[in-house]
Amino acid sequence: MVRTQDGDRDAFRALLEKITPILKAFLRKRIPDSTEVDDVCQEILLALYEARHTYQPQRPLEPWLFAIARNISLDYLRRRWERVQRQELVESPPQRAVEMSGELSRRLQEGLKRMPPAHREAFTMLKIDGISVAEAARKAGVSAGTLRVRAHRAYQALKALFVDRE
């Protein structure tokens, strides 16, 4: 960590390789949704990097690291609890899609055909099939972040298509 504070990228990479499995094991015991462990771990690693200047070399690394990990995981759990509390259970799910006019449907299909297959797949799974980011990422064999980027690029392409023609 001291070498990381001095700007040694190789030392930071080695530190990440060493602590990431330990952090994930720590998080698996605390985070109920196993699909979120990687995202929370990334938040911790980012916080570690941003707080590296606060580490005191004369003290052990682990308590400092796990204090950061504990705080980030608690923040995640609070946010998750707030989302769960706002969800309202209903007897049946709402109707899925609203019928589009022939012109809108044609333009959407045209836009989907123009995009790269990976972007089309992300958009289709998230917006047409309505599956979660985590599940879509698993099906596509990519990380949730990668899937979000692909979906965002698909949204941008469709937005450009619809804005240019209006």
Read off the pLDDT of residues 83-127 as tens digits, 9 standing for 90 and up. Answer: 666 656 666 665 555 556 677 778 888 888 888 888 989 988 988
Q: What pLDDT is attached to residue 65?
A: 93
The answer to whether the CB of 133 falls within 8 A of the CB of 148 is yes
The answer to whether the CB of 15 falls within 8 A of the CB of 1 is yes
The CATH T-level fold of domain 102-165 is Arc Repressor Mutant, subunit A (1.10.10)
In whole angstroms, what is the distance from residue 62 CA to residue 67 CA? 8
Does domain 2-86 bear CATH number 1.10.1740.10? yes
The full set of domain ranges for the chain reads: 2-86, 102-165
The sign of the CA dihedral 83, 88, 93, 97 is negative
Read off the pLDDT of residues 125-143 as tens digits, 9 standing for 90 and up. Answer: 988 888 888 999 999 888 9
Residue 123, CB-side half-sphere exposure with 13 Å CA sphere: 20
Read off the pLDDT of residues 35-58 as tens digits, 9 standing for 90 and up. Answer: 789 889 999 999 999 999 899 999
pTM: 0.49
